[in-house]
Structure 1
Amino acid sequence: MKNFLLILAFGFTTISFAQDANAPQADVLFAVIDRVPIYLGCTGTDNEVLKKCMSENISAFINQHFNMKKMEALNLPPKIYRTAVQFKIDKYGNVVDVQASADRPEIEAEAERVVSNLPKMIPGEHRGKRVGVLYSLPIIFKIEPPKRTRKN
């Protein structure tokens, strides 16, 4: 049997952009949002504290719910696997528009399944209005080679 290690890194894109003050509010990147969405259980008013809390909670959720048994069933060769997941928390706090990119469609499907099941959150705000917030989330896991047992 193979040994598995699931590593989750939470990241976000740091692209800046200009918006017309009269234009309807478009989706905003996590890196530039005035007030980030709030993962239930996170408290405080400081955006950086809320970002950190959210990142930790999303990481814990994905580590708990990512089905490594499905990965084991694929008989993947030992190495580090990376999946890039993009999603949005809409202006109602729902996780929507989940898309993943990976070497194997089965890995993409599992990443999309787990991220789609994140709980509803308190939506983010930008310029005083609720907006959708865009995220980029790398999920990284390592499949270890089988451990050798010594025979005496």
Structure 2
Amino acid sequence: MKTKAFLLFIMLLATIGFAQTGETEKQQINTEEISANEAEPMAFNLAEVPPLASGCKAKWKVEKQRECTRKFIMNHINRNLNTDLVSELGLTGFFKTDVSFTIDKAGNINNISAKGGPEIMNQNAVEVIKILPQFTPAMHNGEMVAVYLKFPIAFDIQ
């Protein structure tokens, strides 16, 4: 239980830091540059309307929508990640896995990768992200766009 609480705390801190950098990036990137490279997914924080998880409302302000989707993903990870896998191997200490993925123009999850932690945790993180439900797609300049996200998952096994 301590491990999961610590995991939630670390993810919350990381999300807050991630959210603060988004506004700075948004000011520095020209909208024309974004639409010129449509094949590449854009950063989650740069989409005019973020992808929406179930329970997140389209009528909310954009920042509230982003926060709702982030919380939905964090809660999903916390509920489904098996942190016991590492302790079963006899490993102890602080571990961090960076998981990244894309929410495509249809709202589906793809291009999932995880690195940085023990391989068994990286694999578990990918499996957890694979079972995320479909999202309402992100919008930018009136068109549906793919966005990418990166979540750090940190946990302390004692």
Short-chain TM bin: 0.7 to 0.9
Q: How does 1:1-150 map to 2 (within 5 A)?
A: 5-6=3-4, 7-8=7-8, 9=11, 11=15, 12=18, 14=22, 15=25, 17-18=29-30, 19-20=32-33, 23=36, 25=38, 26-43=40-57, 44-77=59-92, 79-144=93-158
Whether contact under 8 Å (2:34, 2:42) holds in the other structure is no
Counterpart code for 1:5: T
Counterpart code for 2:3: L
Q: CA deviation at 1:4?
A: 5.0
SS of residue matched to 1:31 = helix
SS of residue matched to 1:5 = helix
Q: CA deviation at 1:141?
A: 1.1
The 1:130/1:49 distance shift into structure 2, 3 A limit, reads: same
Q: CA deviation at 1:134?
A: 0.8
SS of residue matched to 2:36 = coil
- Please give the TM-score of this superposition, normalised by the length of structure 2: 0.79
Return the alpha-carbon distance in structure 1 between the equivalents of residues 80 and 112 of structure 2.
Answer: 16
The 1:128/1:71 distance shift into structure 2, 3 A limit, reads: same
The 1:46/1:133 distance shift into structure 2, 3 A limit, reads: same
Counterpart code for 2:62: N
Give the length in aligned residue pairs: 141
- Please give the TM-score of this superposition, normalised by the length of structure 1: 0.82
SS of residue matched to 2:45 = coil
Question: Structure 1, residues 94-134: CA drift from partner, whole Å, max 9, x if none?
Answer: 01000111232111101111111111100000111001011
Name the structure where helix makes up a greater proportion of residues. 2
Unaligned runs of 5+ in 1: 145-152
The 1:29/1:73 distance shift into structure 2, 3 A limit, reads: same
Name the structure where strand makes up a greater proportion of residues. 1
Counterpart code for 1:131: V
Return the alpha-carbon distance in structure 2 between the equivalents of residues 70 and 141 of structure 1.
Answer: 12
